[in-house]
Amino acid sequence: MGNIFKFHNDLDTDQIIASQYLLLPTIEEMKVHAFESLDAEFASKACPGDFVVGGENFGCGSSREQAPSVLKALGIKAVVAKSFARIFYRNAINIGLPVIVCKDLYDQVESGDTMELSLSEGIVKTGGSEYSCTKLPPYMQSILDKGGLIASLNEMESTAHHGESGGDQ
């Protein structure tokens, strides 16, 4: 069970992490500025296991991977939105942050509500109701299951070094 932080449609990556923080040395230093222009206390309020809920086109704009990375670093369990902008969606999967498409949830919840997510079943539970989510294509799910693209790459490297298939990657 985690708390919900709900944001508007067309939520852009500049709002998740502003340009002025992108060249800070580490994600840890950046994460305290997440959603700063919309909710200056977001980073201090968010707890591991909490959720970000978005409307249509969540994460539009910049390719800055810092956007999903600061959310993951703050312990956000998943972003659940009506739809995602493609680069944010891909970046999130690549770093192992679950991004869940759920059309029906958005209009039923507010910030401060609590919810529960079963990733394997693809079900969100909140306020006594259940909502089903769109499943990821198997290839993307396998990246997420392994903990992200770099973990997948390291796994392939290990396999390759043991003389098994997959060495062409």
Partner 1 sequence: MRWRVQLITENLEVTNNMGMTIAEKIIAAAAGVEAVKPGDIHTVTLDRMMSNDGTTHLTIDMYNQQIKNPTIADPEKLVFIIDHNVPADNPKTAASHKKMRDFAKEHHIDFWEGKGVCHQIMMEHYVCPGELIFGADSHTCTYGALGAFGTGVGCTDFLYGMVTGTSWVLVPETVKFNLTGTLKKGVYPRDLMLHIIGKIGANGVNYQVMEFTGEGAQAMSINDRMVLCNLAVEAGAKSAIFEADETAQAWLKEHGREPKHLFKSDVDAHYVKEYTFDLNEIEAVVAKPDFVDDVIPAKEACGVKIDEAFLGSCNNGRIDEMRVAANLLKGRHVADSVRFLIVPASNQVYMQALDEGLIEIFMEAGAIVMNANCSVCWGSCQGVIGEKEVLISTGTRNFKGRAGHPTSKVYLGSAATVTASAIKGVIATEDQL
Interface residues with partner 1 (CB under 8 A) are 10, 12, 14-15, 18-20, 22-27, 36-38, 56-57, 60-66, 68-69, 83, 85-87, 90-91, 94-95, 137, 139, 148-150, 153-154, 157-158, 161, 169
Q: What angle do CA 162, 163, 164 make, to 5 degrees?
A: 95
| Cα torsion angle, 62, 60, 152, 157, sign | negative
Would you say 36 or 116 has its CB closer to partner 1?
36
Would you say 88 or 131 has its CB closer to partner 1?
88
* Least spacing, CB of residue 8 vs partner 1, in Å: 10
* Least spacing, CB of residue 118 vs partner 1, in Å: 25
* Least spacing, CB of residue 142 vs partner 1, in Å: 11
Residue type, 148: G
Would you say 93 or 115 has its CB closer to partner 1?
93
* Least spacing, CB of residue 49 vs partner 1, in Å: 23
Would you say 56 or 145 has its CB closer to partner 1?
56
Would you say 86 or 135 has its CB closer to partner 1?
86
Sheet strand arrangement including 2-6: 99-101, 78-81, 51-54, 2-6, 114-118, 123-126, 129-132
* Least spacing, CB of residue 1 vs partner 1, in Å: 30
Nearest alpha carbon to residue 126 among 111, 105, 107:
105
Cβ contacts of 120-123, under 8 Å, gap ≥ 24: none
What is the maximum alpha-carbon separation in the chain? 52
Residue 86's CB is within 10 A of a number of other CB atoms, namely 12
